[in-house]
Amino acid sequence: MSKQLSPDEFLRIEIEAGISADNPDFIRLAEATEQMITRLDLPILSVLDFGAGTGVYADAFRRARYDVKAFDIWESHCSYMAAKFPDLVLVDKPVTTDLMLFIEVAEHMTDKEIRALFRKIRPAYILFSSTPFTTANDESWGHINVKHSGQWLGLFDQLGYELERADVMMPTAWAMVLRLKK
């Protein structure tokens, strides 16, 4: 049985794997993700990067002139973002925005925690991506809630969201855009 990584270990491994502000390929992925969202021509001015990690996605949206807020529960990640992206606005609690980046975070949360989050904030749109695969490393990575897209859509339906686009393919092949039901 493996032990869950500490926040500092998690950040170190992310950086070593290229999920960092110093990896041009990862920066290009974040920029392409922002450009894809912009091309969808949705009414989006403000963005919350929830579980912002290393802040690369948040910074790509900030540089594209969106009003961006970044949120992460781990101090090590917040310190990294503050050092790498001094113009990025870090918030100490989630806020409602037009778009929420919910990228590879939900698998780290229970359904109860996700429901509590969406009782507090109601973004109009969500760029959602969560690994649909279980691996031998899930416990150490803190993957406690791995689901396939149909299961996530069922949960989001209960939360008042519906599928806007399933063909976005960024930043992962299993990404989708959800919208608040009218």
Q: pLDDT of 16-41, one tens digit each?
A: 999 999 999 999 999 999 999 999 99
Q: Is the pLDDT of residue 1 over 60?
A: no
- Angstrom CA distances, 166 to 48, 74, 127, 134, 149, stand at 20, 30, 10, 21, 10
- Give the Cα separation of 37 and 35 in Å (integer): 5
Q: Angle formed by the axes of helices 24-39 and 56-63, to 10°?
A: 50
Closest to 179 measured CA to CA, from 127, 112, 132: 127
Q: Is residue 133 a contact partner of residue 176, using CB atoms and an 8 Å limit?
A: no
pLDDT grade, residue 2 (50/70/90)? low
Domains, in order of start, for the chain: 7-180 (3.40.50.150)
Structure tokens of 115? 């429901």
Average pLDDT of span 132-140: 79
Element (H, E) at 27: helix 24-39
Q: How many CA atoms lie within 13 A of 172 on its CB side?
A: 16
**Percentage of residues of the chain with pLDDT beyond 90:** 85
Q: pLDDT of 66-90, one tens digit each?
A: 999 999 999 999 999 999 999 999 9
Q: pLDDT of 148-182, one tens digit each?
A: 899 999 999 999 999 999 999 999 999 999 999 98
Within 8 A by CB and 6+ apart from 57, the residues are: 30, 33, 34, 49, 101, 103, 171
CA 59 to chain centre: 13
